[in-house]
Amino acid sequence: MPLHKPEESYKSVVQFMNQETKEFEDIEVEKPYLILMQDPDYQGDDDYHEGDFVSMRGREAAFTYLESNAFGCDIINSFVMTGHIHLGEEISIYSFMRSCIERKLVHTNLTVDDLDSFAEEMHPGINLDLIYSSEMNKSIKR
């Protein structure tokens, strides 16, 4: 399943009962996102990672949050989970942001070159295209 679908599929409809009228109303709810951010200076083992997490609703909100805060974390070893992307299938913050930028799914002045420059500063010599394509293909194969 692709990471991003047409906009209509991002919202699920929840029925809410109006307490005054006792009638049900449909309310659109945006998809939840869980962002797991690893401290860029963390030098621990592979079984334990220090960092923060945040959850929010909506791709635009998640991207805006990351645009403001992701450059304080390791965007290659920090992850985004949403919808059918479960633990073990998560994609990096780098891949999530790159996908949003390339597919013009969000309004931003950030470019893929900006994102690449930041990732390469933290991980010199890293093959970002390989990471991106393998993570995007992993999310499609589910």
- Write out the two tokens for 47: 């079984």
Q: Is the pTM of this model over 0.85?
A: no
Contact (CB, 8 A) for 119 and 128: yes
What per-residue confidence (pLDDT) applies to 40? Answer: 77
Tens-digit pLDDT string for the chain (142 aa): 344 444 444 455 555 667 778 777 666 678 899 999 987 777 666 666 667 889 999 999 999 999 998 888 899 999 999 877 777 788 999 999 999 999 999 999 999 999 999 999 999 999 999 999 999 887 555 4
Please state, in angstroms and rounded to a whole number, the distance separating the CA atoms of residues 35 and 10. 17
What per-residue confidence (pLDDT) applies to 109? Answer: 94
The one-letter code for the residue type at 75 is I
Phi then psi dihedrals of residue 46, to 5 deg:
-75, -15
What per-residue confidence (pLDDT) applies to 128? Answer: 96
Please state, in angstroms and rounded to a whole number, the distance separating the CA atoms of residues 87 and 108. 28
